[in-house]
Amino acid sequence: MAPPLLQLQSIGLTLGGKPLLEGADLIVAPGDRICLVGRNGSGKSTLLRIAAGALEPDAGSRFLQPDASVRYLAQEPDLSGFADVLAFVEAGLGPADDRHRARYLLERLGLSGAEAPATLSGGEARRAALARALAPDPDILLLDEPTNHLDLPAIEWLEDELRAARGALVMVSHDRRFLENLSRATVWLDRGLTRRLDRGFFEFEAWRDKVLEEEEAARHKLGRKIAAEEHWMRYGVTARRKRNMRRVAELAELRRARRESQRAAGDVKLAVNEAQMSGRLVVEAEGLTKAWGATPIVRNLSLRILRGDRLGLVGPNGAGKTTLVNLLVGALSPDAGRVRLGANVELATLDQKRAALDPEASLQTVLTGGGGDYVEINGARKHVAGYMQDFLFRPEQARTPVGRLSGGERARLMLARALALPSNFLVLDEPTNDLDLETLDLVESLLADYPGTVLMVSHDRDFLDRVATSVLVAEGDGLWVEYAGGYSDMVAQRGAGVAVRAAPRPAPKAPAERPAPERKAEKRKLGFKEKHALETLPAEMDRLRAEMAKAQAALADPDLYVRDPKKFETATALYDQAQKALAAAEDRWLELELLREELEG
């Protein structure tokens, strides 16, 4: 086995008086493809900074092979001191590196290189920093949320670039599909410690759940032992004092171990403040047309969104997704055509730019609207401190200004604010930005059970597969086409993903060093509706069988027709309806089960 390029051993770090890392390890060998996962606030970005040499730990050691090169993509890059973006990217190149690669990477990431750093948005600065990290082709590439602010074509292009990279890769990302496609090992950072699984992210969640189940069993066993010791303390026969004191100390140690084992991060508790049910028709657009100058955004679009639909909008940056959302909800007037909202539509929005948050306002003010100490959820008043804890905020953060929150905390705050508003129509613009994977799981479950309608813009392919019932795709020149199912269903129907940017790729520096990437076809998966049907159909079939049995029991009475003809006809009709519905449900379940077995090999 080759010696490691980078090794972190027993890393400890305390921030603000609270231990963040307590004995974390990380080993990076040549060719590794590692994803670093964990809850928001668990220390993933901090561990990457220590690996990059940008932060000194309080304890532990960092070893880097003397001749190994490392490049680090930070979440908030600093471009100050450079005349333009190209100069910033070229400053990361070595004497032997290809200068043309800097321009190529900037072009593929939607930048010319002539931009002044002071004029860049946060997303543009991140893309410039990504170009700087990729340009030298380092031995170790450390990437912190590399897909943030990238559109779908750029994300898929980046996957190809990273597959072809010769160096080792360590990445932190909330994008499941990105991690599944690239990782070959997973490091889980949890409660200050790391655990390693020498398999990709695809197998991580099942492994994590098994580890947590084993921990829960160990905690239960520890609890029983503590109870036995406490019983001895109260009722045991007094022996020698020295022996008694030893058992007292052991009991204290057991209690400490239980406290330590229960330090796992809390779970986000999500609930939507549901308004009165809307009418069946939520949005109807006819001949919708909008252009900015000579650039068509929407051209002659006719669309109906019905109650319960979950419509995802996808397309490259600049395609007009946010503009189309504003047209569909009536916040923007079209150049031609019309939009009609249905009856009783109550709208709640999650803004992509978090622009609705006043940086000087406190968390309590944002959540209550400045109206006191309570939030009303589904008719029940809840104290704002309790509601904050549902989203992993501590009660003492109630008066913290929004401007002092991290990106993940701002994302959770926007989510909490949107869900506190009475709604039957959720509009979510990039809802997955800065959310950890566990919170994403809960958001997906919430949206699956939400009785209203959802309109969402997202570049997260896995999120679209799990949530969307249909996808509206920008085909270019103002044309939008709707496809049934999630992102993978759209790819299967369309024959391709979202159109990539047209940009010629320069010849590789050396074929042996940088082979052309071999693009793997995206594996077809069950769509959200198919998964949901496969999970719920057995219960539905049981319910239909129970209805048939109930109707059959009534019809078994030989005097029913004479005594109560109307009840006889009702029972007969119910039996026939349930029988037909059961036959259809069984056929659908069998079809989906066969499809699932085929897709899983």
Work out the pLDDT band at 417, boundaries 50, 70, 90.
confident
Q: Would you call 498 helix, strand, or coil by DSSP? A: coil
Query: For 428-448, how does the pLDDT look when each residue is reduced to its tens digit (9 = 90+)?
Result: 888 887 777 777 877 787 787
User: Strand 185-190 to strand 33-37: parallel, antiparallel, or no bridges (unpaired)?
Assistant: parallel
Superfamily holding 6-205? P-loop containing nucleotide triphosphate hydrolases (3.40.50.300)
The Cβ of residue 3 has, within 10 Å, a number of other Cβ atoms equal to 9
pLDDT attached to residue 236:
55
Distances (CA, A) of 336 to 285, 288, 299, 472: 11, 6, 9, 20
Distance CA 326, CA 332 (A): 5
Distance CA 532, CA 489 (A): 15
The two three-digit tokens of residue 406, written as one number: 């991290």
The two three-digit tokens of residue 484, written as one number: 């049934």
Domain range 281-494, CATH class = alpha beta
Distances (CA, A) of 489 to 269, 385, 462: 30, 42, 11
Distances (CA, A) of 188 to 6, 213, 265: 17, 16, 14
Q: Looking at beta carbons, which pairs linking 215-224 to residues 24 or more positions away fall under 8 Å?
A: 215/261, 218/261, 219/258, 219/261, 219/262, 222/254, 222/257, 222/258, 222/261, 223/258
Buried b / exposed e along 78-101 (16+ C-beta atoms within 10 A)? ebeebebbbebbbebbeeebbeeb
Candidates 447, 336, 354; CA nearest to 405 is 354
Non-local CB neighbours of 186 within 8 Å, separated by 6+ positions: 34, 35, 37, 196, 197, 199, 200, 201, 203, 204, 207
Pick the range with the lowest mean pLDDT from 104-113, 380-389, 449-458. Answer: 380-389
How deeply is 107 buried, as exposed, middle or buried, from its count of CB atoms within 10 A (0-12, 13-18, 19+)? middle
pLDDT attached to residue 264:
47
Kindly write down the DSSP assignment for every residue of 234-273, as one continuous string. Answer: HHSPP--HHHHHHHHHHHHHHHHHHHHHT-PPPPP-----
Distance CA 151, CA 457 (A): 11
Query: For 253-305, how does the pLDDT look when each residue is reduced to its tens digit (9 = 90+)?
Result: 655 565 555 444 455 555 665 556 667 889 999 999 999 888 899 999 999 99
Q: Are 388 and 397 within 8 A, CB to CB? A: yes
Pick the range with the lowest mean pLDDT from 71-85, 321-335, 504-518. Answer: 504-518
Entry pTM: 0.67
User: Residue 130 pLDDT more than 90?
Assistant: yes
User: Residue 385 pLDDT more than 50?
Assistant: yes
Query: For 505-561, how does the pLDDT look when each residue is reduced to its tens digit (9 = 90+)?
Result: 333 344 444 444 444 444 556 666 777 787 888 888 888 888 888 887 887 777 777
Give 226's strand partners: none
Query: For 22-58, how does the pLDDT look when each residue is reduced to its tens digit (9 = 90+)?
Result: 999 999 999 999 999 988 778 899 999 999 999 999 9
Distance CA 493, CA 524 (A): 11
Query: For 134-188, how does the pLDDT look when each residue is reduced to its tens digit (9 = 90+)?
Result: 999 899 999 999 998 788 888 989 999 999 898 999 999 989 999 999 999 999 9
Candidates 455, 380, 466, 365; CA nearest to 413 is 365
**528-599 CATH fold:** Helix Hairpins (1.10.287)
Structural domain boundaries in the chain: 6-205, 281-494, 528-599
Topology alike, domains 6-205 and 281-494: yes
